Structure 1
Amino acid sequence: MSAAGTHSDGPAPLPFDPYASREKTRLTTVYSTPWTYDPAQVDGAAERPGANLNLGRLAKHYSRSDQQLPRVLRRESLDCASLAFRRWSDGEPASAQLWHFLLPSGQVIVALTLDVSGTLTETIPLLEDLHYASVECAGLPLEQIAADRIGCVPNGDGQVPGFLPERHQLVFSSVDSPEHVPGEDTVQRVIYRTDLPYRAQHSSICYPMELNRRPTTVGALGPYVSLICGHQDYIENCVLLSAVQAVGSAARLREIREVAYAYVHRFRHRSAGGQSSAHDRRTALEDITDGLSQLELELSYSVEVGSDIGTLVPALRVESFHQELFGAMGLTERAATIGQMLQRLGNATAAELTSVESMERRAADRRRVRTVVSVTFVTTITGTLSLLFGFFGVNARQVDQHRSMFDNSYTPIYALITAILLCAVAIFGAMRLQERWEERRDRGRTRTWEGTHRLLAREVGAVILDPANAPAARRIPGSRPARTDRRTPPMPR
Structure 2
Amino acid sequence: MGDGGTVTTRIIGIYATKWRHHEPATEDTRPTLELGRLTEFYDFYRDQLPRQLHHEPVARFVLDQPLPDGTLVDVQFWLFALPSDSVVAAVTLDLRLPALDTDAAPTSAALEAFIYAGFTIDGLLLSDHIALRAAATGAEELTLPGETLPLLPERHMIVFAGEPGDPLPTDDVVAQALYRRDPPYRQEFAPVVRPPELNQGRTLGAITPYASLLYGHEDFLRDSIFLSTVQAVGTACRFRQIWHEAHRRVRDFRHNQQREEIGTQQRADMEVLVDHLGNLEFDLTFSVEFPLMRIESFFSALYQAMDLPKQADTLSDMFAQLAGSIRSEIMAIDIREREVAERAARERRDADLRQQRRNALAASTVTIIAVPTTLLVSFFGINASQVDGNRSMFDHHYLGAYVVAIGLALIPAAVWLHPYIPSLWRRRRRR
Q: Is the 8 A contact 2:164 2:217 kept in 1?
A: no
- Structure 2 counterpart of 1:84, which letter? V
C-alpha spacing 1:128/1:201, structure 2 compared with 1 (3 Å): closer
**Offset at 1:89?**
4.6
Q: Is the 8 A contact 2:14 2:157 kept in 1?
A: yes
Partner residue in 2 for 1:12? none
Partner residue in 2 for 1:170? 158
C-alpha spacing 1:106/1:199, structure 2 compared with 1 (3 Å): closer
Structure 2 spans left out of the alignment, 5+ residues: 99-103, 374-392, 395-431
Where 2:48 maps in the other structure, the secondary structure is coil
Question: 1:323 aligned to 2:314?
Answer: no
* TM-score, normalization by structure 2: 0.74
**C-alpha distance in 1 between matches for 2:105 and 2:182:** 7
**Offset at 1:161?**
8.3
**Offset at 1:44?**
3.7
* TM-score, normalization by structure 1: 0.65
Please give the residue correspondences for 1:102-181 in structure 2 after superposition, counting only pairs within 5 Å: 102-119=81-98, 120-151=104-135, 162-175=150-163, 179=167, 181=168
Partner residue in 1 for 2:402? none
C-alpha spacing 1:99/1:340, structure 2 compared with 1 (3 Å): same
- Structure 2 counterpart of 1:96, which letter? V
**Offset at 1:27?**
0.8
Where 1:349 maps in the other structure, the secondary structure is helix
Structure 1 spans left out of the alignment, 5+ residues: 4-21, 403-493
Q: Is the 8 A contact 1:46 1:73 kept in 2?
A: no
Where 1:367 maps in the other structure, the secondary structure is helix
Please give the residue correspondences for 1:25-424 in structure 2 after superposition, counting only pairs within 5 Å: 25-38=9-22, 41-44=23-26, 46-49=28-31, 52-79=32-59, 82-91=60-69, 93-119=72-98, 120-151=104-135, 162-175=150-163, 179=167, 181-194=168-181, 204-215=191-202, 217-266=203-252, 268-269=254-255, 270-274=257-261, 281-303=266-288, 305-306=289-290, 308-309=291-292, 313=293, 315=294, 318-386=295-363, 389=366, 392-393=369-370, 395=372
Q: Is the 8 A contact 2:72 2:95 kept in 1?
A: yes
The answer to which structure, 1 or 2, has the higher relative contact order (CA under 8 A, 6+ apart) is 2
**C-alpha distance in 1 between matches for 2:36 and 2:232:** 22
Show CA shifts across 1:311-357 (max 9, x none).
xx2x3xx1221110011100011111111111111111111111111
Aligned residues: 359
Q: How well do the aligned residues superpose, as a CA RMSD in angstroms? A: 3.3
- Structure 1 counterpart of 2:48, which letter? Q
Q: Is the 8 A contact 2:193 2:207 kept in 1?
A: yes
**C-alpha distance in 2 between matches for 1:202 and 1:330:** 13
**C-alpha distance in 2 between matches for 1:253 and 1:292:** 14
**C-alpha distance in 2 between matches for 1:247 and 1:108:** 10
**Offset at 1:302?**
1.9
**Offset at 1:88?**
4.8
- Of structures 1 and 2, the larger Rg is shown by 2
Show CA shifts across 1:262-296 (max 9, x none).
34325545433549966xx3234344444444433
**Offset at 1:256?**
1.7
C-alpha spacing 1:150/1:202, structure 2 compared with 1 (3 Å): closer
Show CA shifts across 1:400-423 (max 9, x none).
x99xxxxxxxxxxxxxxxxxxxxx
**C-alpha distance in 1 between matches for 2:274 and 2:328:** 12
Show CA shifts across 1:120-176 (max 9, x none).
42132332222222322233211111221132577899x998432111100111147
